[in-house]
Structures are given as C-alpha cells and as structure tokens.
Structure 1
Amino acid sequence: MDRLKIERVGGFAGFGGPHLKSRGEVALSDLSPADQKTVEQLFADPKKVAPAHPGQADAFSYRITRGAQTIEVPEHAVPSTIRNSVKDVLE
C-alpha cells in the first residue's frame, strides 16, 4: 500500500473527451511528511477534509486509490506533489 494511483477527472465539459486520460502514480514514501499527513486525513474522511467549493462545477477532481480504497476529492485539497504526478495520455 505504499503506492498511490491517481486519476484526474472532470473539468470543463469532461476535458479531453473519452480518449484522453490523466493518470499518475506516486509512492507514499516519496511524499513529504506534511503531504503524507494530508493523504492520511483525506482517506480517513475526505468530505470533512476536502469539502467541495460551491460554484465550481467544472473544476477537476482527483480519484486517488491506495490498496483497495479509492476516494475522490476536489483539486484544491490534493497536494501539489500528487497533482504533478499526473500526466495526460491518449488511449
């Protein structure tokens, strides 16, 4: 469970269409202690830690998987190290 799998979803009208996927991976051990703590808090209670911002219907969110557990949180709650691990790929 040391690896996080990340997928960026949403955005303006589902940015990129059905063939563009935005994915990445990062090892928990590569994150700073502060980012590790944020990740732990997000998995403990994502709605409490990362409430949605009203009026941002077209904002990106991030689907983060750790082992068998997956959460989806708004972009503003995701540490930059995790956001920066995501790359766009055509499938």
Structure 2
Amino acid sequence: MNATPDMPGQTDLVLIRYVSIGAAYVDIIGPGDDSTHNRWYCGGCRTTSAPGYALMSVLREGANAHAATCRAIPFTPQPHTTVAAGGTR
C-alpha cells in the first residue's frame, strides 16, 4: 500500500499507474472493486479526481487523459548550493 500525499496516514492501493508526458505517475488509487472511494492522483501537479466515481472505466479515462497532457515533473528536493561573493559556479 502507498500513503496518499494529500491525506497523510490514509493508505490506498495503487490499482493502475500511468506515466504522464512530464514523467510523473498518475495513479488510480483506492480500495478497488469499483468502490466510490477510488480516485486518480497525479504525482507531478498533484491534481486529483474527486472520490465518487465507482466505475473504473471513468477513472481510467480521466487518468489517461490527464497523463497525456500534464507536463509537470515530479518534485525532487535539491540541496541548496551557495556561491561565495564574487565567485562563479
């Protein structure tokens, strides 16, 4: 199970995973079995569908359409680099 980033402490199964054109994962998450708690979540722009779609076909269509157009890349924290006064990198 994976923790959902927007709901700390809540875990959902990753049921289906798409890769966006920005290389982020767009996951369909939830308990499965056409539950109304299933939804999709983009790890790039952090957009999510609202829970309530019981039909996986509706979720697949929305997640796939989002993955086809989202250019956001997954955020990866980078260490800060300090440059001395007058110095160059």
Task: Flag the structure with higher strand content.
Answer: 1
Greater relative contact order structure (CA < 8 Å, 6+ sep): 1
More helix by share: 1
TM-score, with length taken from structure 1: 0.25
TM-score (norm 2): 0.26
